[in-house]
């Protein structure tokens, strides 16, 4: 383990900001808003703030708030946050992010999860937190070819058990992190006591069998037709989007911001109030400054090369599984319970009052409360 701090050079920062300033915005359909992609007015305003208002030094200081390390596993450098909380090593929790998020998604949840007494909570609810960057993302190493979620689960299990020395642990994840966590529960049940998801990743063998399952998978197909072009491109020809985005921070911003907009819960407040500009830009810089935009796109193709998330006939993740349903999900709405039960040993299902795809970032309080409640349930006979 090597201690790690974010240390972007002034030269590298200035290069990115110069590219943003020099960007020539193409025409956008009048009145198109977000309907044709990233909203032009929002993107222009964010880029103006990026170059003239965003405090990169403050963002770096924020990214360095918590202890971080790198270690080498299977010839790949893995970056991770490691916060030993009030649990003092007794309640390790591995949290995995997805795309186009990052380890920064969980920044507002770390303190309450690790040190609940500082936030009016019970010290008995504290965790040791381990929050890695997925291979190819952020400050983790970049694989030479696509490396998928099942392989990531194997690497993260090694991180927890061999590098950090936790014989058993809990795991949580959403988006790709939900699939990584699911593979942890399936393949590494000897070490993983229970898992918590805010997106269902694995699929049972066989077709839908009830009217509710048929309706759900039909709606999922319709949502993918409307909003899933990004997925089909990155799962088939990810290098195509890499060529477009390389050395183009504004293009990367547009591609990523569209997902944050379309996947957030906008039912009670506008996009501009769901995330701050500093949050969006800090997360974006973790792609722009590290080359993660390219290898992050590869992660989709890697899923197919690993064989996909469909289980074999009779196979199920028997590790106790909790699911937190945040209602603002757009594409990735949860399946009917009957479908989920065929893929997982569901022991807890909670319906949240609000929040979308980026649960810990959008609603950190609800996220923390549900994770705490799940861990308490595990101790209840």
Supply the residues annotated as catalytic: 175, 300, 357
Helices 277-288 and 249-263 cross at an angle (nearest 10°) of: 130
Is the Cβ–Cβ distance between 156 and 182 less than 8 Å?
no
Residue 285 has a CB neighbour count (10 Å cut-off) of: 25
Peptide bond into 160 cis (omega under 30): no
Residue 5 has a CB neighbour count (10 Å cut-off) of: 11
- Residues in a beta bridge with 131: 81
Instruction: Please compute, for residue 202, the number of CA atoms within 13 A of its CA located in the half-sphere on the CB side.
Output: 31
Is the Cβ–Cβ distance between 96 and 156 less than 8 Å?
yes
Is the Cβ–Cβ distance between 357 and 364 less than 8 Å?
no
Pairing of strands 68-73, 76-83: antiparallel
Residue 2 has a CB neighbour count (10 Å cut-off) of: 10
For the chain, the straight-line distance linking the first and the last C-alpha, in angstroms and rounded, comes to 37
Give buried/exposed letters for 226-263 (b at 16+ CB in 10 A, else e): eeeebeeebbeebeebbeebeebbbbbbbbbbbbbbbb
Element (H, E) at 57: helix 56-63
Pairing of strands 92-96, 128-132: parallel
Q: Which phi and psi (to 5°) does residue 131 adopt?
A: -125, 95
Question: Is residue 29 exposed (0-12), middle (13-18) or buried (19+ Cβ within 10 Å)?
Answer: exposed
Q: Which phi and psi (to 5°) does residue 197 adopt?
A: -120, 145
What's the rounded Cα separation, in Å, for the pair 379 and 381?
6
């Amino acid at each position: 383990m090597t201690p790690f701090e974010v240390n972007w050079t002034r030269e590298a920062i200035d290069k990115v900001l110069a590219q943003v300033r020099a960007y020539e915005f193409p025409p956008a359909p009048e009145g198109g808003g977000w309907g044709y992609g990233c909203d032009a007015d929002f993107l222009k305003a964010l880029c103006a703030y990026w170059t003239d208002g965003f405090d990169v030094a403050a963002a770096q200081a924020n990214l360095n708030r918590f202890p971080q390390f790198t270690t080498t596993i299977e010839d790949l450098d893995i970056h991770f946050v490691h916060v030993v909380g009030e649990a003092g090593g007794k309640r390790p929790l591995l949290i995995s992010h997805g795309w186009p998020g990052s380890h920064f998604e969980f920044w507002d949840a770390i303190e309450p999860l690790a040190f609940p007494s500082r936030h009016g909570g019970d010290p008995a609810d504290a965790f040791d937190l381990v929050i890695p960057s997925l291979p190819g993302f952020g400050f983790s190493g970049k694989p030479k070819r696509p490396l998928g979620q099942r392989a990531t689960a194997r690497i993260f299990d090694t991180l927890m058990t061999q590098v950090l020395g936790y014989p058993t642990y809990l795991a949580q994840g959403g988006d790709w992190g939900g699939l990584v966590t699911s593979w942890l529960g399936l393949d590494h049940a000897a070490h993983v006591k229970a898992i918590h998801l805010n997106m269902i990743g694995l699929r049972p063998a066989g077709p839908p069998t009830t009217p509710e399952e048929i309706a759900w998978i039909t709606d999922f197909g319709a949502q993918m037709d409307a909003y899933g072009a990004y997925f089909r491109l990155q799962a088939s020809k990810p290098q195509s989007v890499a060529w477009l985005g390389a050395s183009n921070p504004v293009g990367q911003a547009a591609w990523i911001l569209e997902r944050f907009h379309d996947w957030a819960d906008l039912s009670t407040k506008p996009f501009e109030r769901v995330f701050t500009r500093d949050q969006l830009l800090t997360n974006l810089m973790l792609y722009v400054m590290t080359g993660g935009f390219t290898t992050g796109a590869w992660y989709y193709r890697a899923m197919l090369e690993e064989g996909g998330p469909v289980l074999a006939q009779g196979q199920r993740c028997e590790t106790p599984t909790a699911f937190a349903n945040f209602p603002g999900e757009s594409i990735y709405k949860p399946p009917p319970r009957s479908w989920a039960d065929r893929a997982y040993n569901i022991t807890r299902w909670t319906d949240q009052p609000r929040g979308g795809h980026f649960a810990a970032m959008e609603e950190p309080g609800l996220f923390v409360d549900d994770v705490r409640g799940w861990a308490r349930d595990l101790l209840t006979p």
